[in-house]
Amino acid sequence: MKTITSTSSMDRTNFLITLILTALLVVLFFAIPDFYPRLILFALFSVLYVVIYGHIPTSFSLTEDSLVLKAPYKKISIRLNEISAAQYLGKGNVFSMIRTFGCSGIFGHWGYFYSPRIGKVKLYARRNNHWILIHTLHKGKYIIAPDDPSFFDELQSRLLIEKVE
């Protein structure tokens, strides 16, 4: 089977949130009169931005036997035979979530979240639509958000083929 790849880009909402938070940090930076607190603030938030950006996937790929989440510093591979179910959440079914570790706002959503409806989930979404909930047998639940909505259809068809074989 051919490898299918979908990019993961920020939607307008997450882009504006990132822009506003960055602008607030710049204002805060120039509002601090002393050099060393400015330096500490700059270093802290530079590291924070680099870490967050490095862990949010920029693309998702379906290979012959795996779903691959590709981020600048990290690649997560989930074997298709490890996935028990996939559900398209779209945009309307996105429920309120509590972040337990990670980031919401800068570059999208990344980290560990809790939802009363779905429980614990690892969220990797740079956009607020096309969310796909993936249930795995041993690695927990994931939510991904590819740009291409047909990525879910391709995932479903490969999961069906995997179960038949």
Binned at pLDDT 50, 70 and 90, residue 95 comes out as: low
Does the predicted model carry a pTM greater than 0.75? yes
pLDDT > 90? residue 152: yes
Q: How confident is the model at residue 104 (pLDDT cuts 50, 70, 90)?
A: confident
Angle 14-5-111 (CA atoms, 0-180°, nearest 5)? 40
Q: What is the mean pLDDT of residues 47-74?
A: 92
Distances (CA, A) of 126 to 14, 61, 62, 92, 131: 7, 15, 18, 17, 10
Q: Please give the radius of gyration of the chain, using alpha carbons only, rounded to the nearest integer.
A: 18
**Count of domains forming the chain:** 1
Average pLDDT over residues 10-28: 90
Range of the domain at 14: 1-165
Q: Could you say which DSSP state residue 164 is in? A: H
- Which CATH number is 32's domain given? 2.30.29.30
Q: Which two tokens stand for residue 43?
A: 């270093």
